[in-house]
Structure 1
Amino acid sequence: MSIDANGDVAVDGVSLRSLPKISLHDHLDGALRPETIIELADDAGAPVPESDPDALADWFAKQCDGGSLGEYLKTFDLTTSVMQSADALRRVAREFVEDLVDDGVVYGEMRWAPEQHLAGGLSLEQAVEAVQEGIEEGEDAADSDGHGIRVGQLITAMRHTDRSREIAEIAVAFRDRGVVGFDIAGPEDGFPPSRHRAAFDYLAENLFPVTVHAGEAAGVESIRSALLDGRALRLGHGVRIAQDLRIMGADGDAVQVRFGDVARWVRDREIPLELSPSSNLQTGAVAAWGSDIADHPFDLLYQLGFSVTVNVDNRTMSATSLTRELALLVDAFGYGLDDLEAFQFNAASGAFLPVEEREELVEIIAEGFRG
């Protein structure tokens, strides 16, 4: 199989880029175009390591391939530094939507942490409003071009700071103005979800949906805390749930697996896993299983019935798109259109939308894959 320069590939004669997709785990500050970073940095008088877009893209790739979440996260110092004004946030959000449209995405959730964008004098509310304006500009432009898309904000609190309750209140305040859910992100190991129990209690009291980064840089106990303390409806990455599976052997083509309690809970309740293959390799999240896409436990989780979804995590840092991530999985595991459709159905079911709108997404996916 040959993946073209745009990350596209034909499966059963159909271009992956042309198929409708859903993106659940997609960071705003991890999705800036290199040329936009350079232009915004020039406007702000901020230094950049490279002044050429291609060279800057290569710099991100090199910096992010160290096999450590900590090293990977350092690159966000650059992207967030150019996102400190309403105009910059509006532009980045609009371009985010444009890039989703180009990738064939029909529904996306944009996660970002407002508390990291206040250095220019914005309030939390002003930052959220600026991003929403950019989203709506992108949606309107797409609609004018005949491309329907909806994008919701996932407001994120940084797990190593102490503002999660305040950020949770902002998320709930904007629930009818573009915000669809809440998340915590940042360094996972040493900063468990239980540290933010007050915020999660508030969100539960207000019946507000939550996804939690867990099972990326820490193991099963982090996932347990996301479920118990965070009441997570989805798991951000969650790839280390595979550590709660014990391979007992094989009977013909069937693998015999013993489930731990957490793994069985997540599988049986169809809690979506927001897996991001390329990012999971870059951050070392799957180092226990290997260093190639084919070593990723994605296929094991899929075959065992987990609700797996495919995501980009950070388009800039991983030089990727949702189309490319799907193509990499096709290449590694030989998936066909039925498999790729199943991943989109899982994402539609897990989207933070009313059930009627999730059903509409299912219909859009089915029509696109079978048309």
Structure 2
Amino acid sequence: MPDADEQEPADAAASGLDPDLVARLPKVLLHDHLDGGLRPATIVELAAAAGHELPATDPDELARWFVDAASSGSLERYLETFAHTVAVMQTAENLSRVAREAVLDLAADGVVYAELRYAPEQHVEGGLSLDEVVLAVQEGLAQGVAAAAEDERSIRVGTLLTAMRQADRWDEVARLAIEHRDRGVVGFDLAGPEDGFPPSRHADAFTVLGRALVPATVHAGEGAGIESIAEALQVAHAVRLGHGVRIADDVGEDDLGTRLGPLAHWVRDRRVPLELCPSSNVQTGAAPSVAEHPATRLKQLGFAVTINTDNRLQSGTSLTRELTLLVDEAGWTLEDLRDVTVTAAGNAFLHADERATLIDTVIRPAYASAVGGRHRA
């Protein structure tokens, strides 16, 4: 594998990679928050109906506010922006609408498989039960998939039910994920502030999930360091790491070259997938820039890197944009984009045969065609 300094940043033109091509390629998204992807115009409309005061009522101005407020360099400040999105997601009708629009937006971005995550406990202020929240979201997702198909865009969507670290409803959400595993829910997630809220606070929830064979991904290595990653693996038995960007802290250099610490070796050697989110990681201070984001180095070292959006509204982004930024600022190639897409599909919370079909019939043929087209050009 090449050293990091062997790959110099290059823009899309220098790499010979047409930015429009990135938009057309099939994409797989594993880390995207439902309450972080609302359309600004939808927020304005729903907030007016609910009597919720927003920092701006013009959709364009509101979109800019979200990005600016989320770009403070603090994960805690970043999370505060969700007060406005969650406020308009308190009825079944609104939840279904937000879910439907999310699917349509992802399909328009070329996403062929997505896992959308949300915390049911955050959507009960209007009187909905946790079960009713899940059913409303699933209804909206089904509507979105059907509408996308009518527009000749094929997309499949699974959901991850999130428990918030700072709350004490982990057991309830774990049971909810188990109950809805055959109704579109594909796994469990733990999110919220990492410091002070480790998985060991409610370790029983992960025991229950493990016995039911429901996979878990845990936010770790974003707002805290490698100790958070270690606990996600050792206590929560996470099969993927939400972000995990701080695993780079366990990768060093000495006179003999690159040296991986014990945890980094474990994560790399067992191909534990990293759900990296470049723009979001820069906003929260987990990475200095996209050009210097650890994704490039980690991929070169053989880690299972996937690229994700995290919160499309707060980052003003899409998966096409995230991949294009890596091309423009970190010198990624078409082959790099193919590799992370295949890695994402191969680690989706789908059955093995379904993952193989997605890779072999959708992703690889599209990239082979793109490579052939570039050669003919």
Taking structure 2 as the reference length, the TM-score comes to 0.93
Q: Decide which of 296, 299, 303 is 2:296's aligned counterpart.
A: 299
Contact 2:250 2:264 in 1 (8 A): yes
1:262 maps to amino acid: L
Provide Cα deviations, 1:209-247, integer angstroms capped at 9, x if missing partner: 110000000011100000011111100000000111111
TM-fit CA distance, 1:349: 1.0
Residues 189-208 of structure 1: pairs in structure 2 closer than 5 A: 189-208=195-214
TM-fit CA distance, 1:196: 2.3
Q: What's the counterpart of residue 257 of structure 1?
A: 258
Provide Cα deviations, 1:80-128, integer angstroms capped at 9, x if missing partner: 0000000000000000000000100000000000000000000000000
Return the alpha-carbon distance in structure 2 between the equivalents of residues 310 and 96 of structure 1.
Answer: 18
Q: What's the counterpart of residue 146 of structure 1?
A: 152
Return the alpha-carbon distance in structure 2 between the equivalents of residues 284 and 293 of structure 1.
Answer: 11
Contact 2:11 2:329 in 1 (8 A): no
Residues 205-224 of structure 1: pairs in structure 2 closer than 5 A: 205-224=211-230
Q: What's the counterpart of residue 327 of structure 1?
A: 324
Q: What's the counterpart of residue 365 of structure 1?
A: 363
Return the alpha-carbon distance in structure 1 between the equivalents of residues 81 and 19 of structure 2.
Answer: 38
1:265 maps to amino acid: W
2:279 aligned with 1:278, yes or no?
A: yes
Contact 1:244 1:263 in 2 (8 A): yes
Return the alpha-carbon distance in structure 1 between the equivalents of residues 148 and 60 of structure 2.
Answer: 27
Question: What is the SS of the residue equivalent to 1:47?
Answer: coil
Q: Decide which of 70, 79, 89 is 2:85's aligned counterpart.
A: 79
* % identical equivalent positions: 56
Return the alpha-carbon distance in structure 2 between the equivalents of residues 354 and 249 of structure 1.
Answer: 44
Contact 2:292 2:330 in 1 (8 A): no
2:112 aligned with 1:106, yes or no?
A: yes
Q: What's the counterpart of residue 188 of structure 2?
A: 182
Q: Decide which of 231, 237, 243 is 2:237's aligned counterpart.
A: 231
Return the alpha-carbon distance in structure 1 between the equivalents of residues 350 and 62 of structure 2.
Answer: 36
Report the RMSD for the aligned CA atoms in angstroms: 1.6
Question: What is the SS of the residue equivalent to 1:295?
Answer: coil
2:298 maps to amino acid: L
2:364 maps to amino acid: A
Return the alpha-carbon distance in structure 2 between the equivalents of residues 10 and 200 of structure 1.
Answer: 46
Q: Decide which of 164, 167, 176 is 1:161's aligned counterpart.
A: 167
Return the alpha-carbon distance in structure 2 between the equivalents of residues 248 and 347 of structure 1.
Answer: 32
Question: What is the SS of the residue equivalent to 2:291?
Answer: helix
Contact 2:178 2:212 in 1 (8 A): yes
Contact 2:30 2:275 in 1 (8 A): yes
- Cα 1:189–1:21 change in 2 (3 A) is same
Structure 1's consecutive aligned runs of 4 or more residues displaced over 6 angstroms after TM superposition are none
Q: Decide which of 26, 46, 57 is 1:40's aligned counterpart.
A: 46
2:201 maps to amino acid: R
- Cα 1:332–1:197 change in 2 (3 A) is same
TM-fit CA distance, 1:10: 7.8
2:86 aligned with 1:97, yes or no?
A: no
1:154 maps to amino acid: L
How many residues matched?
358
TM-fit CA distance, 1:370: 1.4
1:296 maps to amino acid: H
Provide Cα deviations, 1:337-356, integer angstroms capped at 9, x if missing partner: 11100000110111000001
Provide Cα deviations, 1:283-326, integer angstroms capped at 9, x if missing partner: 1112xxxx321121111101100000000000000000000000
Greater shift after overlay, 68-77 or 183-192?
Answer: 183-192
Return the alpha-carbon distance in structure 1 between the equivalents of residues 132 and 261 of structure 2.
Answer: 45
2:211 maps to amino acid: E
Q: Decide which of 125, 131, 136 is 1:130's aligned counterpart.
A: 136
Q: What's the counterpart of residue 310 of structure 2?
A: 313
2:240 aligned with 1:243, yes or no?
A: no
Question: What is the SS of the residue equivalent to 2:29?
Answer: strand
Taking structure 1 as the reference length, the TM-score comes to 0.94
TM-fit CA distance, 1:2: 7.3
Provide Cα deviations, 1:238-282, integer angstroms capped at 9, x if missing partner: 0000111111257xxxxx211111110110011100000000010
> Where in structure 2 are there 5+ consecutive unaligned residues?
1-9, 370-377
> Where in structure 1 are there 5+ consecutive unaligned residues?
4-8, 251-255
Q: What's the counterpart of residue 27 of structure 2?
A: 21
2:282 maps to amino acid: L
Return the alpha-carbon distance in structure 2 between the equivalents of residues 304 and 194 of structure 1.
Answer: 30
2:347 aligned with 1:350, yes or no?
A: yes
Contact 2:141 2:157 in 1 (8 A): yes
Return the alpha-carbon distance in structure 1 between the equivalents of residues 219 and 339 of structure 2.
Answer: 23
